Amino acid sequence: MKTFTATPADIEKKWIVIDAEGIVLGRLASIVAMRLRGKHKATFTPHMDMGDNVIVINADKVQLTGNKRMKPNYWHTGYPGGIKSRTTGQILEGKYPERVVTQAVKRMLPGNRLSRKQMTNLRVYAGTDHPHEAQNPEVLDVASMNKKNTRS
Domain 14-64+98-141 has CATH 3.90.1180.10: yes
- What is the structure's pLDDT at 32? 97
* Cα–Cα separations (whole angstroms), residue 66 to 7, 31, 71: 44, 21, 10
Break the chain into its structural domains and give their ranges: 14-64+98-141
Which residues 6+ apart lie within 8 Å of 137 measured at CB?
A: 14, 15, 16, 17, 53, 55
Q: What is the pLDDT along the chain (152 residues), one digit of tens a residue?
A: 888 899 999 999 999 999 999 999 999 999 999 999 999 999 999 999 999 999 999 999 999 999 999 999 999 999 999 999 999 999 999 999 999 999 999 999 999 999 999 999 999 999 999 999 999 999 999 988 766 555 55
* Cα–Cα separations (whole angstroms), residue 87 to 12, 90, 96: 39, 5, 13
